[in-house]
Structure 1
Amino acid sequence: MTRPGTGRRKQSATDKQVAKQSKGTHPKSMVIRIGAGEVGSSVSQLVKDVREVMQPDTALRLKERRANKLRDFTTMCGPLGVTHLLLFSKAESGNTNMRLARSPHGPTLNFRVQNYSLCKDIMKSMKHPRMGLTEFQVAPLLVMNNFITSDIDREKLGEAAPPKHLEKLVTDMFQGLFPPIQPHTTPLHTIKRILLLNREPPSEGDNGTCTITLRHYAITTKITGVPKAIRRLYAAEKLMGSKEKKKRALPNLGALDDVADYMLDPSAAGYTSASDTEIETDAEVEVAAPVTRKVLSKKERERMTARDDGQKSRSRSSRPKVEKRAVKLVELGPRMKLRLTKVEGDLCGGKVMWHEFVSKSKAEVKEMDRKWEQRNKEKEERRRVQKENIEKKRKERAENGGAGEGAGEGEDEDEEMEDFDEYDMDDDVWHDEDGDVAEEAQDEDMEDKGDDA
């Protein structure tokens, strides 16, 4: 039983088992808005759009409350197997910020959302928006461009060049958001979305920061090398078994006497423009065509394996057929332009590893490292005292322990003490009273000055 007066909830054995099993599975994420009633409707809709992008391994129906703190979400990352947190917030100055954190020990990347567009705004600007539900059953294909600066560009930029470890960290953080794709085993037809992250080339006035542009597309394919009339018949065959009723997609053959008139007459399939007939060869790929094969009996399979020249005796029809398809990307949204401002060593806190506006000398860095080492030693000492107190209580209970109801209560206390052993009172202190708060205030002042500049 939990002690009265404490708001801490005991972690069950089932939650512990799920947390252990989830370590080797695909990465999972939670997209959260900090300050549910203060961010506004636009940022709230942006959070919902980003959850759609992170499907299927994300908490799609997560509901935040005004009373929720960041601690409430971080404590549930372990039982739920969540590996990444995307935190959206809005500052008093009106800037929208995004934090990308890795659970449970960080690091955390702080981005400023310079501008963004919602999914509904993108769909309104398109003539034929893509509205499908099957695209979100598999994680998107992640494509990253220009994240590593070449040695030639580093020589040109000089001191303004971004640090190599910073670029490597940002690359690893975004790559860890989605499960890796095995090119030899992953079927191509399952990949239906693509997430494009393009880093703008660094310039002399960027202070070594990273500016990333995010785009989200749906992958569509179209058969090439086939007349439009046959393509319309092929599309009509698909619509026959579906519940959708699109009369425009079905060809009207009522006024024709023979199907040859429809196939040979170029105007029968409708008006054909140059864009419909000529497709760029760069967008064409060769994929395996879906063909039906005869199911062989056991005797036929034995005969095939008994032949020495079994591969040579196969007919040409049994060879894998290949067809050409044109790949087209349809934007789904949202769009975001992110600017990296700060990197923290822990989960939404800890030592500042890099800052866009604040630079420290070597002496200040050494002093900061010394303070953090002292703080870690004090933290380890508190944990040691906690463990000694727990062991002391266990020994006292073992000496004075009884049977019956007391044994059952003792088991509950053992589970509670195991949870208390993992819990550290210092984890509730997110920022130091003197050092970190002053440093954060200085960071905010520097960010505001950077915006004004």
Structure 2
Amino acid sequence: MGGLRKKKHPKSRTAAFKASEPSEIAEAPHTFVIHRGLSCPYITDLTIDFRRVMEPFTAISLREKKMNRIKDFVSLSSFFHVSHMGIFNKASTQLSFKVLRLPRGPSLTFKVHQFTLARDVISLSKHQFIDDDHFKHAPLVVMNNFTGEGKHLKLMATTFQNMFPSINLAQVNIGTIRRCVMFSYNPDTKLVEMRHYSVQAVPVGLKRSVQKIIKGRVPNLNQCEELAEFVTRDGYASESEAEDDEQSHVLLAQTLKGRGNLEGSKSSVKLHEIGPRLTMQLIKIEEGLLTGEVLYHDHITKTEEEKEELRKLIEKKRKLKEQRKKEQTENRARNLKQKTKMAKREANDNASEDEDDAAYYEEEVGEKPDEELFKNEKKSSSRKRPKLPGAMKYNKNNKKPKKETKAK
């Protein structure tokens, strides 16, 4: 039999795990999205929808239990190179959404005013357009109106941007940009609105009949003798082309997925909302991971003296925590040292007892005993008699009397 395999250190496992993956995947920001608090089926669906937004760099099938704590997910974040965590917390009065920067913070807490699930958004749209291939690549992030006084706006915008991988405009493949996530800030109401769209490119400058043929649709040729008559017919002029905004027309630098979207041709970019929708308000920013100094609070304002007192209190708690950890490590080391001393003392006592027994045997018998004689006695004496199940005790007097058999 081979020896036991030595376990690797978590840091070495993480380094090996990152080395086995491409740099684009290993360096991209990954996220955990979970929900806490009271159980609600709508919050569970909202959590799943938000995971779809964060695809493909998220745990889409993450299983969480009530017994799991935030520390459990933080401990796993280094192995899976998770950089952010989103938490939907359902309380009796409100729903909050927290964004954590792992592993040391900061932590942003939002109050969710309204939300709409993805299935409701898609059912309300007139032209439903969704494709599973759109979720194979990260979405494009658009930030709107995050300018103004206050460092909290800049920190909020930076946090939203860092949750998604950055795009290199010189090397990006336009065909991979199939989704768009927009965060819009309203300075009057202090609300942040999140919208999620799928991006579609449609050729421009073609008649409606030609667009049907290009897209692979089978036209109705009952009233036409040949295909040319169907294409040149006046009644089939494009109605949507007149309604399209010219600002959405772009000249394609690369060939995109979809018929007619060739390199150098003119196409119109259309957005189809696929949900979910979120309307939230920033309430609090904490320096650490859901702990530490409060950098910003929307409802409470404190003076510099009160802030200084809080800093001293936090520093005092931190020092007490470090002192407790130090005492615990010292106690462990002292207990381990005592155990080793006791084990050595017992070994020495057993050795001296064996020597005394061997000397007595040699004195009485007149010859030296075998080496394994007292070792076997020690092993047999160390064996304990197994206990009967149910704390039953054996008694000789409780034997059942034998039945007398009559002789025939």
The bucket for the TM-score relative to the shorter chain is 0.7 to 0.9
When normalised by structure 1's length, the TM-score is: 0.66
Structure exhibiting the larger radius of gyration computed from Cα positions: 2
Contact 2:182 2:196 (8 Å CA) reproduced: yes
Partner of 2:11: 16
When normalised by structure 2's length, the TM-score is: 0.73
- Tell me which amino acid in the other structure corresponds to 1:175: Q
Residue 120 in structure 1 maps to residue 106 in structure 2: no
Cα distance in structure 2, aligned partners of 1:18 and 1:26: 18
Residue 232 in structure 1 maps to residue 212 in structure 2: yes
Q: 1:331 aligns with which of 246, 268, 273?
A: 273
Partner of 2:372: none
Contact 1:18 1:81 (8 Å CA) reproduced: no
Partner of 2:60: 60
Cα distance in structure 2, aligned partners of 1:389 and 1:140: 52
Unmatched 5+ residue regions in structure 2?
1-5, 257-261, 345-408
Over 6 Å off, 4+ runs: 389-402
Alpha-carbon deviations, 1:32-87, whole Å to 9, x = none? Answer: 0113xx23111111111101101000110112223222232222222222111100
Alpha-carbon deviations, 1:296-316, whole Å to 9, x = none? Answer: xxxxxxxxxxxxxxxxxxxxx
Aligned pairs, number: 327
Per the alignment, do residues 285 and 395 of structure 1 end up closer, same or farther by CA in structure 2, a change over 3 Å counting? Answer: farther
Unmatched 5+ residue regions in structure 1?
1-10, 150-161, 204-209, 237-248, 292-319, 403-453
**What secondary structure is seen at the aligned counterpart in 2 of 1:13?**
coil
Per the alignment, do residues 289 and 378 of structure 1 end up closer, same or farther by CA in structure 2, a change over 3 Å counting? Answer: closer
Cα distance in structure 1, aligned partners of 2:158 and 2:7: 33
Residue 258 in structure 1 maps to residue 226 in structure 2: yes
> What does residue range 32-431 of structure 1 map to in structure 2 within 5 Å?
32-35=34-37, 38-93=38-93, 95-149=94-148, 163=150, 165-202=151-188, 210-236=190-216, 249-253=217-221, 256-267=224-235, 270=236, 272=237, 274-288=239-253, 290=255, 322-385=264-327
Contact 1:216 1:334 (8 Å CA) reproduced: yes
Contact 2:205 2:241 (8 Å CA) reproduced: no
Cα distance in structure 1, aligned partners of 2:13 and 2:143: 32
- Tell me which amino acid in the other structure corresponds to 1:195: V
- Tell me which amino acid in the other structure corresponds to 2:239: A
Per the alignment, do residues 359 and 287 of structure 1 end up closer, same or farther by CA in structure 2, a change over 3 Å counting? Answer: same
Per the alignment, do residues 42 and 376 of structure 1 end up closer, same or farther by CA in structure 2, a change over 3 Å counting? Answer: same
Contact 1:49 1:118 (8 Å CA) reproduced: yes
Q: 1:25 aligns with which of 4, 24, 27?
A: 27
The alpha carbon displacement at 1:139 in A equals: 0.7
**What secondary structure is seen at the aligned counterpart in 1 of 2:215?**
helix
Cα distance in structure 2, aligned partners of 1:394 and 1:284: 74
The alignment-based identity, stated in percent, is: 29
Partner of 1:299: none
Per the alignment, do residues 69 and 336 of structure 1 end up closer, same or farther by CA in structure 2, a change over 3 Å counting? Answer: same
Contact 1:39 1:89 (8 Å CA) reproduced: no
**What secondary structure is seen at the aligned counterpart in 1 of 2:49?**
helix
**What secondary structure is seen at the aligned counterpart in 2 of 1:350?**
coil
Per the alignment, do residues 343 and 250 of structure 1 end up closer, same or farther by CA in structure 2, a change over 3 Å counting? Answer: same
- Tell me which amino acid in the other structure corresponds to 2:249: E
After superposition, the CA RMSD in angstroms is 2.9
Contact 1:288 1:322 (8 Å CA) reproduced: yes
Cα distance in structure 2, aligned partners of 1:76 and 1:227: 55
Contact 1:88 1:96 (8 Å CA) reproduced: yes
Cα distance in structure 2, aligned partners of 1:188 and 1:395: 64
Per the alignment, do residues 387 and 65 of structure 1 end up closer, same or farther by CA in structure 2, a change over 3 Å counting? Answer: closer
Contact 2:174 2:254 (8 Å CA) reproduced: no
Contact 1:34 1:70 (8 Å CA) reproduced: no
The alpha carbon displacement at 1:254 in A equals: 5.7
Contact 1:18 1:80 (8 Å CA) reproduced: no
Ranked by relative contact order (alpha carbons within 8 Å, sequence separation 6 or more), the top structure is 1
Cα distance in structure 2, aligned partners of 1:326 and 1:12: 57
Contact 1:289 1:323 (8 Å CA) reproduced: no
Cα distance in structure 1, aligned partners of 2:331 and 2:159: 39
